[in-house]
Structure 1
Amino acid sequence: AGDDFFGPKRWRVRTFAIAGTWLALVAYSVLLAPGKSPEERAADQALLERILSTPFDGSVNPLFCCIFNMLGIWPMIYAATLLPGSDRQSPAPAVPFVAGSFFLGAFALSPYLALREHRAVAGESGQLDWATSNILENRLTAVALLAFAAYLALFALGNGVIGGFSPNEAFAGFLPVFGSSLTAHVSSIDFMVLWMLFGPVLLEDGRRRGVFLGNFDSWSSGDKAQFAISAFVPVFGGLAWLLSRPPLPSQRS
């Protein structure tokens, strides 16, 4: 059965590495993450209520506010890079996992990344649904996401003041929250895991569009720079890719 499941489109190393990452994330969050005492849980609940109701009024650390809200941007980036290769995915459909990532981040998305088939042949995007074709492939969506991400970054860098520059104060205020709040702690790690898992998804999306083909050494300097920025700069790199990537062959007029 294993030989039937694994093959050119599903690799053991990738599947087991992502599955292991997911299991480690779940185990750490349940067993080792801070913020589980009754007092910490009460404070955590209050923090969650504030960040959902009044995130920008100064009652929540601006750096955590940035991270938490960017967890809503990451799923859009993943949706835009995964759904073009999701037609007839086996053994699990993409949409439930991608939709779940808007609420649970890598906790919901990682199983799909582990199980999905690799779709990296130029033109191998399959049938696109309306939302993918008209929203996720639309650069205006990326522009709107970039504007929101820029606002969040400026808010964090200014420690709650747009136009200010107090990253040290923002980070100093973030550390106690990270160390005592389950929501802040797990959300921050979730952000890092989504960042870590994006590179292979980016590579596959690029190859479906006719770029990043062949070995890394054969890429042009422009492709190398584009991949490095898109993969290694969190959120903004992914958004830069959505703004600059070529259209799918099926979308070209």
Structure 2
Amino acid sequence: MGRKIALFLIWITFLVYTVWLDPLAQPETFSLVWKLLTFQLADVNAILVAIFWLMGVWPMIYACLMFADGTTQPFRSWPYFIGANGTGVICLIPYLIFRKSNQEFSGPKDKLLKILDSRWTGIFLLLTTIGLLAYAIFAGDWGDYIQQFKTREFVHLISLDFCLMCLVFPLTSLFGDDMARRGIKEARIFWAVALVPLFGPLAYLCLRPPLPESSADVSFQASNLTA
């Protein structure tokens, strides 16, 4: 319950703060977002480019854990995943608050879940992250970014949103439940992942064992293939 209260306080505080700043009321917000979406990056700070696209990596990290909940939750996870790609924690946290803890998986895995469960997906996300951060480090202007953070609402909020994605990850039961489904019981693994922002979860996705499927599910799939 303490985790859910903490998540709710983070959610309501950031929601009120976002509404108060109202970045959509600023005319330059739409033009900036359009440039980021259409890769018109000639006059856009590389640091902002990296943060913007890392805000697409983070929902994928959560999706690799969320979709294994399957039908055990009272609501589907995909609307929250889609919403998180546009609004970050504002759409993601409600799912994390209202989901029920689920430490079991009953297969079979569909095509989407097989992709999200694959270590190759984790490796792809890790390489994407490394590429974006390298771009920000070598091509970014930190002085300009700090100035934009102070003066442009969109840059300010997306930066805070990125930090909250990192903060929320160890607060939710989602990560611990995923470890339990895979038979990982080492508390040291939990803290090693939880205390390393972004790269901890990415390393976990690259190294975690696959979700086990019951023998009945595997037999059912085999019979369908030979039918």
User: Is TM-score (shorter-chain normalized) higher than 0.5?
Assistant: yes
Deviation at 1:34, TM superposition (A): 7.6
> Contact 2:35/2:41 (CA < 8 Å) preserved in 1?
no
- Which residue of structure 1 aligns with residue 120 of structure 2? 140
1:119 aligns with 2:92: no
1:171–1:210 distance in 2 versus 1, CA, 3 Å: same
Secondary structure of 2:213 counterpart: helix
Question: Could you list the runs of 5+ residues in structure 2 that have no partner in the other structure?
Answer: 219-227
Residue from 146, 166, 187 that aligns with 1:195: 166
Secondary structure of 1:250 counterpart: coil
> Contact 2:64/2:116 (CA < 8 Å) preserved in 1?
yes
- Which residue of structure 2 aligns with residue 245 of structure 1? 208
- Which residue of structure 2 aligns with residue 80 of structure 1? 64
Over the matched positions of the two proteins, sequence identity in percent amounts to 29
Measure, in 2, the Cα distance between the counterparts of 1:14 and 1:147. 31
Measure, in 2, the Cα distance between the counterparts of 1:20 and 1:70. 24
Measure, in 1, the Cα distance between the counterparts of 2:85 and 2:27. 24
Measure, in 2, the Cα distance between the counterparts of 1:46 and 1:182. 13
> Contact 1:34/1:181 (CA < 8 Å) preserved in 2?
no
1:193–1:245 distance in 2 versus 1, CA, 3 Å: same
Secondary structure of 2:169 counterpart: helix
- Which residue of structure 1 aligns with residue 31 of structure 2? 46
- Which residue of structure 2 aligns with residue 164 of structure 1? none
User: What RMSD over aligned residues (CA atoms) do the two structures have, in Å?
Assistant: 2.3
Measure, in 2, the Cα distance between the counterparts of 1:128 and 1:100. 26
Residue from 236, 244, 247 that aligns with 2:199: 236
Question: Could you list the runs of 5+ residues in structure 1 that have no partner in the other structure?
Answer: 1-11, 161-169, 214-218
Measure, in 2, the Cα distance between the counterparts of 1:30 and 1:150. 32
- Which residue of structure 1 aligns with residue 19 of structure 2? 30
> Contact 1:125/1:248 (CA < 8 Å) preserved in 2?
yes
- Which residue of structure 2 aligns with residue 166 of structure 1? none
Measure, in 2, the Cα distance between the counterparts of 1:186 and 1:251. 44
1:106-185 aligned within 5 A? 106-120=89-103, 124-127=104-107, 130-160=110-140, 170-185=141-156
> Contact 1:84/1:126 (CA < 8 Å) preserved in 2?
no
> Contact 1:34/1:179 (CA < 8 Å) preserved in 2?
no
The two structures have a TM-score, normalised by structure 1, of 0.76
Residue from 83, 95, 104 that aligns with 2:87: 104
- Which residue of structure 1 aligns with residue 225 of structure 2? none
> Contact 2:148/2:155 (CA < 8 Å) preserved in 1?
yes
> Contact 1:35/1:180 (CA < 8 Å) preserved in 2?
no
* Residue-pair matches, total: 214
1:186–1:139 distance in 2 versus 1, CA, 3 Å: same
The two structures have a TM-score, normalised by structure 2, of 0.84
Q: Which deviations, in whole Å up to 9, do the C-alpha atoms of 1:151-184 show, x marking residues without a partner?
A: 1010011134xxxxxxxxx322211111122221
- Which residue of structure 2 aligns with residue 207 of structure 1? 180
Measure, in 2, the Cα distance between the counterparts of 1:137 and 1:246. 9
Q: Which deviations, in whole Å up to 9, do the C-alpha atoms of 1:92-124 show, x marking residues without a partner?
A: 32221122212221111110100000113xxx0
